[in-house]
Amino acid sequence: MDRILDYAVPDDLGDGVAPGALVVCPLGPRRVLGVVVDRAPPTHAGRLVPLAGVVAGPPIPAELLDLARWMARYYLAPVAACLRMVLPPGGGGSLRRTGDGGWDLVAPPAPRERLVARLGDGARAGSPRRRAVADELGRRGGALPAAELCRVAATTMATLRAMGEEGALELVRESAPPDALTSAGGVAPARDAAPVLTPEQSAATAAIAAAMAGDGGPLLLHGVTGSGKTEVYLDAIEGARRSGRGSIVLVPEIALTPQLLGRLRARLGTRVAIWHSALTPAERAAEHRRVREGEADVVLGARSAVFAPVPRLGLIIVDEEHDPSYKQDGSPRYDARQVAARRARDAGAAVVYGSATPRPEAWHALTRHSLPRRADGSALPTVEIVDMRLQGAGPVSRPLARALHEAAARGEKAIVLASRRGFSLMALCRGCGWIARCPDCDVALVQHERPRRLACHHCGHEEPVPGVCPSCHAAEIARQGTGSQGVEASLRRLVPAMRIVRMDGSSASGRGAVARLLEEFARPGPAILLGTQMVAKGHDLPDVTVAAAVDADAPLQFAGFRSEERAFSLIVQLAGRAGRRGEPARVIVQAYEPQARAVQLGARHAVEEFLAGEVDRRRAHLLPPFSHLTRVVVDGESPEAVAAASAALASAVRDAAPAVAVLGPAPLHRLRGRTRRALLLQAPRASEMTGPLRDVLSEHDAALRRAGVRAVVDVDPQET
Ligand code: ADP
Ligand code: ZN
Ligand code: ZN
């Protein structure tokens, strides 16, 4: 709902109805949760519906109420969606009448149970394929969450159920074990002592202290992994605490940084709360209460922790500030980095953005502090670039295969990063793993849909998509991305001695999944951690002596204005993952465009040179931070309606705001049967653009609805 509704305040509710209070609003026959944003004098109260009640519990703090309303304006987002970000836990649940005639919120129950497969007695019977599933389960201790078994054994739930009926295995519901990350409070750990800071670290902490005292704006802390950024954060948090103020620490993905929580607790004690999407409602409510009441004065979490109700906020830290996950990919499309800046400004707090590979806008606009060396004195690893045009077919080059063999022989581990490449999809048998290959080139054929066929992107060979698998005759041919799955098949063939742990969006979702995968990888013996960007993020893994990117220049295939920096930061971040603690390491970067600037400079860790060039390029093209962008995607089922609506919006914005450059409407790929067109708006200041756009959209609202067309607005888009 994008509107603010007026209600009358019955006398008996009186003072409870103040801005920020949660109230019960009659809406037709329903009772819905509302947030009071303002109280006005009772002018036309006689004609208004009265509120039905006030919800028990503390109101939303004024600071967060203001922040939510600012977000709604800045991002052109529905007020309700923004208010939802600052609601206490349970805000998504339902209203309940209490015994004494009041109201409270019932949080939705969490799915805490999961299906676990256990090896049964009949395990040796059945088809070879089912035997293979049972063997896999046996190798992994005889019990595994069913979803995980499906993944590791490349099978389906249907197969597991059938095996369950045969008695080959048993499927049981079990409650998920508590996750180490989610046990709030816990045992007080031994206090770590702080090291003596280097002069560079001290300069950074002094600047943060000054900003906290109201003297200085946001800061950029630039340093490679291991250069001592976290020690600066810890010192700054302790400084905030000494002056009675709280801190928020944002990380891209909390499950990937368990050791950061450990370090925070080891240094700061148990007054550290975590803000985690996988918390159960009860855990979340407990953490929320600890924070609101000041019992915990440090909050660690992903994006949404920027809304934590920390009283007397003194410091916000945004670690790995270059990470795209800080931008929410759904309503409200807020950027936690931007929200952090705004919240810190209003609270008189300091904000620190940390990264080894900052975004050009941060590099240009913020006061910069660099930590030039790793604290343990270790050198950055040498990066080898492999020109894939000179290699055979297949995603794994000879130098990489050799490096992996050597690591396997020494019992060491490797990280292999496989970004998704373009839109290539291959035909794969879910039953046996067979992949359709070109008879001439031995590369996976790419599946096309219109007309439906398989094609080789090397030589142009074409053939029909088979109905059943030529290898095992199963009718389970699926279209599969050539991303990490394709690479996994090659690695299994080339280095069978290495255990492969795959970590990507699908395998790493769900409570505790990432922690389990990391544990599995850390088990003794040679292993490969294979996955998308995730594997290059902040965790600190021992024994990793090879770090490789199979398609380091994949981001360059996209036309977006951040493609270069994505490719660059991937390479630099990956290099930072290997060879810590002085172990010799090899970093191998495979590229189809090895001479690309991002690849060359990334391999040399030439951050300053790269970013200086990017800032120049952005200035020349008037891209952020030299302008603000807003993207409007118009979509609908009828191509004609989408074309007409997007053209009408474009000309209306041009008329309403001559200072705004309007690009497009440009056609986009169809998505789920809907035609899409995009407008890109560019203006020196965001408000010059969003103000007129808001007016235009509300004028066109009824017409868009009639035409069955939607317009989705993305302010400060990450891609264009
Ligand atoms: P980053 O956050 O940049 O990866 P850390 O703060 O984790 O770096 O530092 C890397 C390692 O160096 C850690 O073990 C840390 O305790 C240690 N370290 C950092 N700064 C110092 C210092 N000034 N003196 C001694 N050790 C330090
Ligand atoms: Zn071919
Ligand atoms: Zn098959």
Question: How large is the average pLDDT for residues 46-65?
Answer: 90
pLDDT bracket for residue 421 (50, 70, 90): very low
14-105 in CATH: which number? 3.40.1440.60
Cβ(349)–Cβ(313) under 8 Å?
Answer: yes
Token pair listed for 398: 């000879």
Q: Mean pLDDT across the stretch 622-649?
A: 93
Q: What percent of the chain clears pLDDT 70, i.e. is strictly above it?
A: 86
For residue 580, the ligand closest to its alpha carbon is 1
Atom of ligand 1 nearest to the CA of 538: 4
Give CATH for domain 182-371.
3.40.50.300
Q: Which residue has the higher pLDDT, 484 or 631?
A: 631
Q: Which residues keep their CB under 5 angstroms from ion ligand 2?
A: 438, 440-441, 456, 458-459, 461
Cis omega (within 30 of 0) for bond into 625: yes
Which is it for strands 383-387 and 272-275: parallel, antiparallel or unpaired?
unpaired
> Looking at residue 374, what is its pLDDT?
85
**Distance in Å, CA 477 to ligand 3 centroid:** 8
User: Which ligand lies nearest to the CA atom of residue 200 in the structure?
Assistant: 1
Backbone φ, ψ for residue 357 (5° rounding): -135, 75
**From atom 19 of ligand 1, which residue's Cα is the shortest distance away?**
228
**pLDDT per position as a tens digit, 5-27:** 999 998 888 788 999 999 999 99
Atom of ligand 1 nearest to the CA of 201: 23
Q: Are 88 and 57 in contact (CB under 8 A)?
A: yes
392 vs 258, 396, 546, 552, 599, CA distance in Å? Answer: 39, 9, 21, 17, 21
Assign domain 382-423+482-617 to its CATH superfamily: P-loop containing nucleotide triphosphate hydrolases (3.40.50.300)
Average pLDDT over residues 126-149: 79
CA 257 from centroid of its chain's CA atoms: 13
pLDDT in the model for residue 25: 92
CA 321 to centroid of ligand 1, rounded, Å:
19
Query: To which H or E segment does residue 686 belong?
Result: helix 686-706
For ligand 1, the distance from its centroid to the CA atom of residue 226, given in whole angstroms, is 6
Ligand nearest to the CA of 437: 2
Residue of 220, 229, 231 best suited for mutating to test ligand 1, as the one with most atoms within 8 Å of CB:
231
Ligand nearest to the CA of 428: 3
The answer to whether 557 and 421 have CB atoms below 8 angstroms apart is: yes
Residue type, 56: A
Ligand 1, residues at Cβ distance < 6 Å? 195-198, 201, 223, 225-231, 375-376
Q: Give the ligand 1 atom nearest the CA of 197.
A: 23
Question: Is it the case that residue 187 has pLDDT exceeding 70?
Answer: no
Domain spans of the chain, in order of start: 14-105, 113-175, 182-371, 382-423+482-617, 628-715
Looking from the CA of residue 232, the nearest atom of ligand 1 is 6
Rounded CA Rg of the chain: 27
Residue 2: name the closest of 54, 63, 67, 77 by CA. Answer: 77
Between the CA of 438 and the centroid of ligand 3 the distance, in Å, is: 16
Average the pLDDT over 374-403 and give the result.
Answer: 85
- Closest ligand relative to 226 C-alpha: 1
pLDDT of residue 201 exceeding 80: yes
Least confident of 68-77, 567-576, 579-588: 579-588
Q: What is the pLDDT of residues 484-503, one digit of tens each?
A: 667 888 899 899 999 999 88
pLDDT at 425 > cutoff 60: yes
**Predicted confidence (pLDDT) at residue 647 exceeds the cutoff of 90:** yes
Report which secondary-structure segment, H or E, holds 628.
strand 628-636
Question: Which atom of ligand 1 has the smallest separation from the CA of 376?
Answer: 12
User: What is the CATH architecture assignment of 628-715?
Assistant: 2-Layer Sandwich (3.30)
- Among 414, 326, 362, which residue's Cα sits nearest to residue 565? 362
**Is the distance from CB of 487 to CB of 388 less than 8 angstroms?**
no
The residue whose CA is least distant from atom 12 of ligand 1 is 375
Contacts of 694 (CB under 8 A, 6+ apart): 76
Model confidence pLDDT, tens digit, residues 226-258? 899 999 999 999 999 999 999 999 999 877 777
Angstrom distance (rounded) from CA 249 to CA 1: 31
Per-residue pLDDT of 512-539, as tens digits, reads: 777 788 888 888 899 999 987 778 775 6
Determine the residue of 227, 230, 373 to mutate for testing ligand 1's pocket, defined as the one with the most ligand atoms within 8 A of the Cβ atom. Answer: 230
More reliable by pLDDT, 173 or 261? 261
In the predicted structure, residue 693 carries a pLDDT above the cut 80: yes
Ligand 1 mean position to 267 CA, how many Å?
A: 13
What's the burial of 35, exposed, middle or buried (CB within 10 Å: 0-12/13-18/19+)?
buried
Ligand nearest to the CA of 320: 1
CA 437 – ligand 3 centroid, Å: 13
- Which carries the bigger pLDDT value, residue 509 or residue 693? 693
Read off the DSSP letter of residue 549: E
Q: How many angstroms is it from 228 CA to the middle of ligand 1? A: 4
Q: How far is the CA of 133 from the centre of ligand 3 (A)?
A: 15
| Alpha helices for 153-306 (secondary structure H) | 157-166, 199-212, 229-242, 258-268, 281-292
For the stretch 586-607, pLDDT in tens is: 999 998 778 989 999 999 999 9
Identify whether the C-beta of residue 39 lies closer than 8 Å to the C-beta of residue 18.
yes
Of all residues in the chain, the percent with pLDDT exceeding 90 is 45
pTM of this prediction? 0.81
Q: Whose CA is nearest to atom 9 of ligand 1?
A: 228
Asked if 637 and 708 count as a contact pair (C-beta separation under 8 A), the reply is: yes
Point out the ligand 1 atom lying closest to the alpha carbon of residue 319.
2
CB 485 within 8 A of CB 425: no
- Nearest ligand atom owner, CA of 442: 2
- Element containing residue 299 per DSSP (H, E): strand 298-301
Lowest mean pLDDT among 350-354, 395-399, 479-483: 479-483
Contact 482, 466 (CB under 8 A): no
The residue whose two tokens read 């013996």 is: 525
Whole-number pLDDT of residue 95: 81
The residue whose CA is least distant from atom 10 of ligand 1 is 226
Of all protein residues, whose CA lies closest to atom 20 belonging to ligand 1?
228
Cα(542) to ligand 1 centroid in Å equals 16
Q: Which stretch of 450-459, 474-483, 585-594, 680-689 has the lowest confidence by average pLDDT? A: 474-483
Q: Which of 234, 240, 232, 236 is nearest to 311 (CA)?
A: 240
Beta bridge partners of 8: 50
Q: Are 105 and 58 in contact (CB under 8 A)?
A: no
- The closest residue, in CA terms, to atom 25 on ligand 1 is 195
* Closest ligand 1 atom to Cα of 198: 23
Residue of the nearest CA to atom 15 in ligand 1? 228
Ligand 1 atom closest to Cα of residue 371: 3
Quote the pLDDT of residue 68. 97
CA of 482 to the centre of ligand 3 (A): 17
Check if 382-423+482-617 and 628-715 are the same fold. no
- Helices 258-268/229-242 angle, 10° precision: 40
- Judged by its nearest atom, the ligand closest to the C-alpha of residue 229 is 1
Q: Which residue type, as a one-letter code, is found at position 139?
A: R
Q: Which two tokens stand for residue 465?
A: 């998509």
Per-residue pLDDT for 181 more than 50?
Answer: no
Instruction: Give the number of other CB atoms < 10 A from CB of residue 522.
Output: 14
- In this prediction, residues 187-208 reach a mean pLDDT of 83
- Which residue minimizes the CA distance to atom 24 of ligand 1? 195
Distance 475 CA to ligand 3 centre (A): 8
440 CA to centre of ligand 2 in angstroms:
5
- Mean pLDDT, the chain, rounded, equals 85
- Alpha carbon of 395 to ligand 2 centroid (Å): 15
Phi, psi of 295 (to 5 degrees): -70, -40
How many whole angstroms from 469 Cα to the centroid of ligand 3?
4
Contact 87, 53 (CB under 8 A): no
Residue 156's pLDDT is 87
| 658's tokens | 């001559």
